């Protein structure tokens, strides 16, 4: 991040290369109940990112050493499909996917009411079918909708969203060029109803003012994404279909 | 939804959504109190009964409760007990002392093996979700014939209907024995035609049992039902 000062990421008219304003998100579509075989599932298209999440359980936690007597554990597996990027990715777990699986699991554990299911495990599978920067946020959003679809009790719907800095300007929802050549990236997991933060990572440097502005953008975007998530769940079930 | 607010508009809520002010109401399952507000914790329909606000979840896993009548499948056999698949997160345990037969130590396999299906009752569930089953009781036995159909746990009440009306009607139409377990497993036993029809009817009841159109749909399906004595 940084070090690519000659790459122009903002147009002269103040818009970004893809025509968005600095506080504008890429379009988002969400579908709940995408996979019939899973207990709960969701499909999220965020810009060119496509994430599918499936939830299985609660089930008995195996091996028994991972069981916790007072709560369930959330086992997240984040994976990028080999065809999700322009360069083929070697299939299987890697350092990055392990890290994202871990932070996603920790974020979800703070939202799910784990005490309801002692000694159990809830398995969350996140598969990225197409990647364009911001896949962890798309994955978290998909996982939250899938958990709600599976009937898992939660304090709120967790929303994944990111802001960053390009050419010294704080922008919302970085695309691939901005993520690769920008100066900072701030992905956050937000609970929109309470305004709490379930996870936060920062790559690059932001001044306190820039950080506050980025968080302001993130909260605004989280409220918009939350509406789309609720709408996706209501679309699936309203009318007494299920 | 099986127990909706009759005459009132059903309201779908998602986790984190405010249902309304607490104002002296009690908080039931699927909801919690936060800052004088009642917040939904599950995706489902709001229900208010006797000043208690709860959320009927649309999807849920079967969580055994003491007294539930369930259809269980033998998953493992030990010398003196059986581990049963109860269609929930945890296996249930059926000790030989609670089996309907006199079982000698080491002879459990002679009575039931892996894959055998039984009608059992949940005797006890502790806070760590250890489930103990019993087969001592009226009607609790091994199910040697018939088929098992699995339906979502929250649709069980739809199949039964008010005062078991729907279930009794299905039994009457297809002339089959049908038992509905609280764990979402339905046992059907009868002629091949009757069983096939009952399976379709149970799928219909599971999907539409709560709708006003269910009566008409069941009547239409009834025309295809096998005549009594056909088999």
ipTM score of complex: 0.89
Please report whether residue A18 resides in a domain: no
Please report whether residue A6 resides in a domain: no
- For residue B16, give the nearest of A40, A151, A155 by CB distance: A155
- Pair B37, B20: CB distance under 8 Å: yes
Please report whether residue A12 resides in a domain: no
- For residue B15, give the nearest of A117, A155, A237 by CB distance: A155
**Chain B neighbors of A149, CB-CB under 8 A:** 43, 59
- Report the distance separating Cα A23 and Cα B61, nearest Å: 41
- Report the distance separating Cα B145 and Cα A44, nearest Å: 45
- What pLDDT is stored for residue B152 in this prediction? 84
Domain boundaries for CATH 2.40.50.100 within chain B: 12-57
CATH of B147-222, one of 3.30.1370.10, 1.10.357.10, 3.40.50.10860, 3.40.47.10: 3.30.1370.10
For the cut 80, the answer to whether the pLDDT of residue A207 exceeds it is yes
Q: Check which CATH number belongs to the domain holding A142 and give it.
A: 3.30.230.70
Domain boundaries for CATH 3.30.1370.10 within chain B: 147-222
Peptide bond into A58 cis (omega under 30): yes
Instruction: Provide the shortest C-alpha distance from residue A168 to chain B (in Å).
Output: 36
- What pLDDT is stored for residue B4 in this prediction? 40
- Mean of pLDDT values over A82-109: 94
Domain B12-57: assigned CATH number: 2.40.50.100
- What pLDDT is stored for residue B3 in this prediction? 40
Please report whether residue A87 resides in a domain: yes
Please report whether residue A115 resides in a domain: yes
Domain that holds residue A95: 28-237
A155 in B contact zone (CB under 8 Å) = yes
- What pLDDT is stored for residue B223 in this prediction? 80
For residue A141, give the nearest of A237, A42, A73 by alpha carbon: A42
- Report the distance separating Cα B10 and Cα A145, nearest Å: 21
- Pair A53, A125: CB distance under 8 Å: yes
- Mean of pLDDT values over B71-97: 93
- For residue A117, give the nearest of B10, B89, B210 by CB distance: B89
Domain boundaries for CATH 2.40.50.140 within chain B: 69-143
Least confident of A27-31, A62-66, A94-98, A101-105: A62-66
Burial of A70 (0-12, 13-18, 19+ CB in 10 A): exposed
- Report the distance separating Cα B164 and Cα B179, nearest Å: 11
Q: Do B16 and A238 touch (CB under 8 A)?
A: no
Q: Which of residues B85 and B205 earns the better pLDDT score? A: B85
**Chain B neighbors of A60, CB-CB under 8 A:** 89-91
Fold observed for domain B69-143: OB fold (Dihydrolipoamide Acetyltransferase, E2P) (2.40.50)
Summarised one tens digit per residue, pLDDT across range B140-199 is: 999 999 999 998 888 888 888 888 888 898 898 888 999 999 999 999 999 999 999 999
- What pLDDT is stored for residue B214 in this prediction? 77
Query: How many domains is chain A partitioned into structurally?
Result: 1
């Amino acid at each position: 991040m940084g070090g690519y000062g000659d790459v122009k990421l903002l147009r002269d008219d103040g818009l970004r290369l893809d025509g968005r304003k600095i506080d504008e998100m890429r379009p988002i579509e969400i579908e709940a109940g995408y996979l019939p075989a899973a207990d709960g599932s969701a499909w999220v298209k965020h810009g060119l990112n496509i994430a599918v999440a499936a939830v299985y359980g609660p089930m008995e936690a195996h091996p028994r050493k991972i069981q916790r007597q007072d709560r369930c554990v959330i086992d997240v597996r984040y994976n990028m499909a080999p065809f999700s990027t322009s360069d083929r990715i070697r299939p299987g777990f890697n350092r990055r996917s392990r890290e994202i699986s871990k932070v996603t699991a920790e974020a979800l554990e703070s939202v799910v009411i784990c005490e309801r299911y002692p000694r159990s495990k809830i398995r969350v599978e996140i598969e990225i079918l197409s990647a364009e920067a911001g896949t962890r946020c798309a994955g978290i959003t998909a996982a939250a909708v899938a958990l709600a679809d599976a009937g898992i009790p939660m304090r709120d719907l967790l929303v994944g969203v990111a802001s960053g800095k390009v050419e010294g300007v704080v922008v919302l929802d970085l695309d691939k060029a901005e993520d690769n050549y920008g100066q900072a990236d701030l992905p956050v997991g937000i609970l929109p109803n309470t305004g709490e933060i379930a996870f936060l990572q920062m790559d690059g440097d932001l001044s306190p003012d820039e950080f506050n502005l980025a968080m302001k953008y993130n909260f605004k975007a989280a409220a918009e994404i939350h509406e789309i998530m609720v709408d996706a769940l209501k679309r699936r079930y309203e009318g007494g279909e299920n | 939804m099986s127990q909706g607010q009759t005459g009132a508009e059903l309201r779908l809520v998602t986790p984190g959504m405010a249902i309304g002010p607490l104002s002296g109401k009690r908080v039931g399952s699927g909801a919690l109190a936060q800052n004088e507000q009642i917040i939904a914790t599950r995706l489902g329909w709001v229900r208010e009964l006797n000043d208690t606000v709860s959320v009927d979840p649309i999807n849920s896993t079967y969580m055994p409760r003491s007294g539930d009548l369930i259809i269980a499948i033998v998953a493992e056999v030990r010398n003196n007990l059986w581990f049963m698949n109860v269609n929930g997160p945890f296996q249930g345990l059926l000790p030989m002392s609670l089996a309907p037969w006199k079982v000698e130590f080491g002879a459990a396999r002679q009575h039931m093996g892996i894959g055998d299906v039984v009608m059992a009752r949940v005797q006890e569930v502790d806070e760590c979700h250890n489930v103990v089953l019993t087969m001592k009781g009226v009607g609790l036995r091994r199910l040697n014939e018939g088929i098992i159909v699995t339906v979502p746990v929250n649709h069980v009440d739809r199949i039964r209907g008010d005062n078991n009306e729907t279930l009794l009607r299905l039994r009457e139409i297809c002339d089959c024995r049908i038992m509905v377990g609280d764990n979402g497993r339905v046992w059907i036993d009868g002629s091949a035609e009757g069983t096939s029809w009952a399976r379709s009817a149970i799928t219909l009841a599971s999907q539409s049992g709560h709708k006003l159109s269910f009566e008409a749909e069941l009547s239409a399906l009834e025309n295809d039902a096998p005549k009594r004595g056909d088999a």
